[in-house]
Structures are given as structure tokens and as C-alpha cells.
Structure 1
Amino acid sequence: MTFPPAPLPVASPCIKVCVLDARNVCVGCGRTIDEITQWSRLTEEQQRQVVDRARQRREAAS
């Protein structure tokens, strides 16, 4: 019996530019301070949602 490979864990979007703006959003990765501090406790689906929201924030800021 063969099983499909397990999905890879969601990589943190951190790029080591950890500076918060006035809204408590990291200018490096686009996550809020709450998303950053809760990252390790989130499910993979929640982490994917955070990555999507962070990407949207970075795109909106450019």
C-alpha cells in the first residue's frame, strides 16, 4: 500500500527584517504582531491564511 507524500509544513514568511509600523504590522513579512506571536500555535490552514493576508498587506503597501 502506497501513501501520497505528506504536505510540507508552511514556511514562516519572516525575512529577518523585523520592524513594526504604526499599525503593529511587520514591514518585512507583512504579518501583524498577533500573527507573529501566534504562528507556532496555528494550524497549517491558519498559517496559509496568515501568509496570504501578509502577502496582500505587502502588495498594498508597495
Structure 2
Amino acid sequence: MKSPCIKVCKFDEGICLGCGRTREEIKGWKKLDHLGQQAVLAESDMRLLVFEAQGRRKFW
């Protein structure tokens, strides 16, 4: 699975505002199997929704 990185890489409380992943998730992305990557994507999507609702994430 392709990385969800959108080349924004700005962090707020350890979460990337571009893709919603933690630094640890970004570092370990290639080592995860398909199910692990899907789980990270689901978590990161939820984080981004929270950031957007709080006005902490701007659309680029």
C-alpha cells in the first residue's frame, strides 16, 4: 500500500497535520503488513477529523 504522506510534515502534539500519523507510525510504515497499514490509516483519519473540527488543521 502506498504511503499516505502528502509532503506537509508539520506536527501538532506528535501528529502530522498532513497525514495524521504519529512519528512512530511514519517510521514503521514500510514494516507493517496490509492490515496494520489499514489500521494506521483508520486511526490517522480519525485524528485528522478531530484536528479539523478543532480548527487545528487547514486545507492545503
Query: TM-score scaled by structure 2?
Result: 0.81
Runs of at least 5 residues in structure 2 that lack an aligned partner in the other structure: 53-60
Residue segments in structure 1 that go unaligned for 5+ positions in a row: 1-9
Give the number of the structure whose alpha-carbon radius of gyration is greater: 1
Runs (4+) of structure 1 moved beyond 4 Å?
Answer: none
Structure whose residues are more often helix by fraction:
2
After superposition, residues 1-62 of structure 1 pair within 5 angstroms as: 10-21=1-12, 23-62=13-52
- What is the number of equivalent residue pairs in this alignment? 52
- Higher-strand-fraction structure: 2
What is the TM-score with the length of structure 1 in the denominator? 0.78
Report sequence identity in percent: 40
